[in-house]
Structure 1
Amino acid sequence: MYLTLRDRPGGKPDPASRSRVVPRVATTVFLLGIVSLLTDVSSEMVNAVLPLYLTAEMGLGVLAYGFVDGLYQGVSALLRIGGGYAGDRSNQPKWVATVGYGLSALSRVGMLVAHNLGAISAVVTADRLGKGLRTAPRDAIIADASDPKGLGRAFGVHRTLDTIGAAIGPLVAFSMLLLVPGDYNSVWVVSSGFAFVGVAVIVLFVPNHRTKVARRAQSIGSLLREVTGARLRRPLIAAGLLALFTVGDGFLYLSLQQRDHLAAKYFPLLYVGTNLAYLLLAIPFGRLADRIGRTKVFLGGHVALLCVYLFAAGPFSGGVATVLVLVLIGTYYAATDGVLPALVTPLVDAQARGSGIAAAQTVVVLARFASSLAFGSLWLLLGSAHALYLVAGLLAAALALALWLLRNREAPVTA
């Protein structure tokens, strides 16, 4: 399963090379990456046009978009713990994840008949419930199929494939709206097709990679006490605190569009820029996290986010400034999205791996839900620039506190 960098002549391994073992990324990780790629093509086709669809096509304001974005960010928390627990308890993580992917695929079809805020909110809720159900079991499979020394790299490879889909999705939506302006129904139909192909791949090709350790029956109460124990408590608080001051991408892109007077048809390309940066940086940052420490990379990603707020709200405008903001957003995701589960995994028992990852992700999405609702109100009260400056100051204070919370909390990595 693992490849060494150097062997002695004669076939005997060099003892000094034992510390230079390069874990091979498991085939299961690549297969799940393909599933995520197809699913993200589908979801990002919708996500890339949704802000404009709501504000320009349907005539809703930023507060209404803040509500929908809050649902998008936070409603998955309702099932994340349940999904992680179901995967752990049943030892059938593949099939729990499959149900989640299927629910999201069905929600794409719902966009064809959703023509008001309530209907769109219901569709977004169904999509995010599917994401909440599938994420922790899927990440638990990745963690169990990978060597502990290469968790950051394994999650980085998965997130890279995921992000390829996230970059393709807005391009497909942009091309379709460029050819037929305003034909959102075509976007929803093609999006549904990609989602159902992703479900087919996980059903037909992804093995049901079960936890290798012996199982023991656990109640949900005992499991929750385990995943919120002393080792995990401070990382959970730190992750939630930082997420509380994480502004949704849609708000950042709307701010850039208004500042630069960007034509509506080019709006999906903003998502492409971010995802390309994420794509290029996910694996390097995953490997960096394995080498220098996952806490350092995780906090560094939030420093990049702080710079996003300052540049997005600042007086600089134009193409160069916009590209810089998009690169920084991609940097933030590359340094945090896959690094957080890699940071949490060694802190929980293998039998509660999915639930431990789910606990961290639940805290983050609940905090982002509150952040989206609050930022929509701040935008109306202060304007986008002043609201971003305020959140930047709060994030800087949160970073200082998170640094203290995460000090000496990273578990030593052992094979």
Structure 2
Amino acid sequence: MKKIDKNVVMLGWVSFFTDMASAMINPILPIFVVTILHQGMDKLGIIVAAATFVSYALRLVSGYISDRYDIVKPLVVGGYALSAISKPLIGFTHGYKSIAGLRALERLGKGLRSAPKDLMIAHYSKKGSAGKTFGFHKSLDIGGELSGTLLLLWLLYSFGENESVMRSIFFATLVPGLIGLFIVAFFVRDIPRKQAGPRERFKLTKHDKTTVRALFFYFIFLFFIFSDAFFTMQAKDIGISIAVIPLLFVVSTGVQTLTSYLFGIWIDKIGPKRILAFSYLCGAAAQGLLYLQKPLFTWLSYAFLGLFTVSSLNANRSLIARRADNRGSVYGIFYASVAVFGAAGAYVSGMIWEHFGMDAALLFGLAGTTLLTLLYALFGGLADA
């Protein structure tokens, strides 16, 4: 821990407070849309898809700008500012279109900051310690989610589960959002600019292209695995009460908090590919446990979802730090592709759920994740990446 650069530590605290704000609304937003506003699962799918997809171009552009023009911290600060402002405004909404618009704005903020932020983390990582550094950062990131979820649980328990309380919670996210924005603006140092000189035409190198190809399997997997919103609605549909649902997120984020740094150490020791094999197995297990449609199995599913999320993200971010030459651009491609495949998967799952029922949507996710896990085990190559 002592070898972690102080700028990475500060970025970790920025993520802590920003994700605290996100975790205060993520467990209740699907319920707010479907139950309070009486919108269908297809509308929820549209909201998730729009929020995920809208940052597509911006993630690519922000990574390119970081590499091409050495503009890094301003993009990170601007991205956190958009996120801090957009979340509280959901408290004023009365239809799925306005929610989709605000979620899209929040994702624009994430798209603006994600690639430059990871570029900063990679820059401040010690040689040979990228996995550990990203694991440390993710620990604070997930710690914020855990804190926000516990706060949400207390608010719902103390004040109830009605519309007024939910809207007040949306408004309250402004506080942690502004704290995170203040830290990144005043306590995180920008990375040094490159030496001034004639600029060559920018293009991805052979190493960059090889890295992107190595990431493609992960993108396909994201198409099939359920998003948090669909995990939430499955829990509600099998009889888990709204007040208890935040505890499911506590399980997921708690697992991530406890394991993130350890996964970072293992990535440095045994390589990202072996960790990715484990993550796909966990993702398929999470989807399979949902399919059983029993409360106990849903609790276990959230634990496996946490393992999948933290191990796969840390492994892929470390892989880029190891292999890519233009890391900002490749991080941009990575997050853009996550957005595209995640959005497409959410839209398809929402449509299947709305028109053919939850069983069909669960089977779709289970079949896809299981098949991909088997393919990776057979052909993914588990040698060190």
One-letter amino acid of the structure 1 residue matched with residue 276 of structure 2: F
RMSD: 2.3
1: distance between equivalents of 2:292 and 2:318? Answer: 34
Q: 1:331 aligns with which of 307, 311, 316?
A: 307
5+ residue gaps, structure 2, are none
**Paired residue for 1:348?**
324
2: distance between equivalents of 1:383 and 1:237? Answer: 30
| TM-score, normalisation: structure 2 | 0.92
Report if the CA contact (8 A) 1:29-1:142 is conserved: yes
Q: 1:65 aligns with which of 19, 24, 44?
A: 44
**Paired residue for 1:394?**
368
One-letter amino acid of the structure 1 residue matched with residue 18 of structure 2: T
User: Is 1:281 the equivalent of 2:263?
Assistant: no
Q: 2:17 aligns with which of 38, 48, 56?
A: 38
Q: 1:310 aligns with which of 263, 266, 288?
A: 288
User: Is 1:121 the equivalent of 2:100?
Assistant: yes
2: distance between equivalents of 1:410 and 1:191? Answer: 41
In the comparison of the two structures, how many residue pairs are matched?
382
SS in 1 for 2:268: helix
Report the alpha carbon displacement of residue 190 of structure 1 after superposing the two structures with TM.
Answer: 1.5
Report the alpha carbon displacement of residue 216 of structure 1 after superposing the two structures with TM.
Answer: 6.3
One-letter amino acid of the structure 1 residue matched with residue 236 of structure 2: Q
5+ residue gaps, structure 1, are 1-21
SS in 2 for 1:337: helix
Report the alpha carbon displacement of residue 274 of structure 1 after superposing the two structures with TM.
Answer: 0.8
**Paired residue for 2:90?**
111
Report the alpha carbon displacement of residue 361 of structure 1 after superposing the two structures with TM.
Answer: 1.8
SS in 1 for 2:327: helix
Q: Which moved more, 1:385-394 or 1:133-142?
A: 385-394
One-letter amino acid of the structure 2 residue matched with residue 209 of structure 1: I
Quickly say closer, same or farther: Cα 1:80–1:218, change in 2 above 3 A: farther
Report if the CA contact (8 A) 1:54-1:65 is conserved: yes
User: Is 1:232 the equivalent of 2:211?
Assistant: yes
Quickly say closer, same or farther: Cα 1:114–1:41, change in 2 above 3 A: same
2: distance between equivalents of 1:23 and 1:179? Answer: 40
**Paired residue for 1:7?**
none
**Paired residue for 1:18?**
none
Report the alpha carbon displacement of residue 314 of structure 1 after superposing the two structures with TM.
Answer: 1.3
2: distance between equivalents of 1:306 and 1:184? Answer: 32
Report the alpha carbon displacement of residue 397 of structure 1 after superposing the two structures with TM.
Answer: 2.5
**Paired residue for 1:201?**
183
Quickly say closer, same or farther: Cα 1:109–1:264, change in 2 above 3 A: closer
Report if the CA contact (8 A) 2:277-2:382 is conserved: no
Report the alpha carbon displacement of residue 97 of structure 1 after superposing the two structures with TM.
Answer: 0.5
One-letter amino acid of the structure 2 residue matched with residue 71 of structure 1: A
Quickly say closer, same or farther: Cα 1:64–1:78, change in 2 above 3 A: same
User: Is 1:250 the equivalent of 2:225?
Assistant: no
One-letter amino acid of the structure 1 residue matched with residue 323 of structure 2: L
Quickly say closer, same or farther: Cα 1:234–1:407, change in 2 above 3 A: farther
Q: Give the percent of matched residue pairs that are identical in Structure 1 and Structure 2.
A: 24
2: distance between equivalents of 1:90 and 1:234? Answer: 25
1: distance between equivalents of 2:308 and 2:94? Answer: 34
2: distance between equivalents of 1:263 and 1:325? Answer: 17
Q: Which moved more, 1:381-390 or 1:198-207?
A: 381-390
Larger radius of gyration: 1
**Paired residue for 1:15?**
none
One-letter amino acid of the structure 1 residue matched with residue 191 of structure 2: H
Report if the CA contact (8 A) 2:221-2:368 is conserved: no
Quickly say closer, same or farther: Cα 1:251–1:201, change in 2 above 3 A: same
SS in 1 for 2:91: coil
